[in-house]
Structure 1
Amino acid sequence: MVLAKPRGFCAGVVRAIDIVERALDREQGPVYVRHEIVHNRHVVEKLRRKGAVFVDELSEVPAGALTIFSAHGVARAVEQEAARRGLPVIDATCPLVTKVHIQGRRYARSGRTLVLIGHAGHAEVEGTIGQIDAPVHLVSTAAAVDALPIARDTPIAYVTQTTLSVDDTRGIIAALNARFSDVTGPDISEICYATQNRQGAVRDLARISDLLIVVGAANSSNSNRLREIGAEMGIPSHLVDDGDGIDPEWVRGVTTIGITAGASAPDELVDSVIEALEHLRPIVISQLNGIEENIEFTLPAELRHERRRTSA
């Protein structure tokens, strides 16, 4: 068994969870979180047990209750609704998502037609579109570029969802440049560092593995991309929430099992997968050499001196 490096939590996820835990320590009453703080039910349930209340809409938040926006970001309309109601808010939006919002607004102000590369319905995409006071054209594939209702000589700009496949995004950018004569946007290297690192690591892992197991939630975009990369490289690849998702048939006759985890999956879930596999066969665990991530994002000022809970 070989573990990918890096895998699991990224700095944006660590920051978002830390925000909720420190807010819970500070508040006397419940803390309300709009949508899942990150896309992982284990993380959400753990925070719920500590007192966090997860809601779909701000209308579910009682008057005056502390409200936290998830790591995926929210539309300006949500921010305005919270302000109208006088709700105290802490924004846990990942700083790299906020950077996309800023880029998009800057391009729109410059008069360019904006294209967002991303997946319809994803919380980050909805938040990004809602942060830009101009029309936004959403594309998720290179083929969709030809269907854009934009004249070929229109100056355009693009921004990207942070959790996309780097290769797919590169292909869509190439399609934009092929169709339009005046295109600007961030370099592919500016896609979220964690997305790039985990996708690079899973490619290295897939080259030496007979089976790939990705630990992550079904609604986690970055986790799904990791599984897709393994499948594209020709090995059986499966996405599991935890060790309970392991099918004994997957490992029958397999020599090398590769394991990685999406950016919102904690180490304890990887451990549960390893434990499940150990019940099926003897295993020897090694880890690939990989990038050592040491990025940290600053907490909101009002929470920097709060202590984080450590109890389960």
Structure 2
Amino acid sequence: MAHSHNHGNEDEGHERKLLFAALLIGGFMLAEVVGGIMSGSLALLADAGHMVTDFLSLGLALLATRLARRPADGKRSYGFGRFQVLAAFVNGLALVPIALWISWEAWHRINDPVPVAGGMLLAIAIIGLAVNIAAFALLHGHSEDNVNMRAAAAHVMGDLLGSLAAITAGAVIIWTGWTPIDPILSVVVALIILRSAYTVTVDAGRVLIEAAPKHVTSEDIAPVLVADIENVEDVHHVHVWMLTDSKPMATLHARLTPGSDIVIATRGIKTLLHDRFGIEHATVEIEFGVCADAPTEAHA
């Protein structure tokens, strides 16, 4: 049975989009650092600091995507696809210290306000928003079924929100002169970043601990196979996990009625697993009578 499913082409597309997004973020990053220092804006510096880590995170995601395209070998029979999940997990964790640093600096700015050049803040933030929208557009459309792309998109979304906060802060400062708006909005962005960090880290963590996909559990499979596949008497030792977030897998034992055609039954089981549960790769152990893994005395 073929298992190409165009994963290689998908990874190549992800790689190109990550590269373009990294170039966009990296190109604007230096200008925003300089602008934040010159304007005295924490919102702009927070956004710039996040962009620095985003540039590194996008680089990590790009490296993981490239490694995932390497073919399987004798020592790594499943290939390198899980590198993308590891990168997503690391990137999700990396969002946490960013949000905490922004909140810490905001607390100091609220207690000890500093002058902020609203005009420069507003101009740079508007340009940053355009860059972040372009980068997010590259990543978002391909993030639903790939946790690595979702983690990269979460970093860029944090930047996008940071730019919006900086624009709002710049406008308020220009019109009212009220500088506390700058650190206050930075805290709001930090909270949103923490939420993204939680979501991405939990999703990647589920894959790393080999949890079942969200849409199916091991308990769901046995009753369906027994009810729908002819000559299947019992299904047990069912394990369902994810190699990556888009590649669910399963192993199971199926006991058939005596005289059943093993090939037909196995093909029926695999077809149902694919069509009903989206499991493309399954290992099925066929049994007649006692399970081979049963205690020795059961064979007596």
* Larger Rg over CA atoms: 2
TM-score with structure 1 setting the length: 0.29
TM-score with structure 2 setting the length: 0.30
Higher strand share: 1
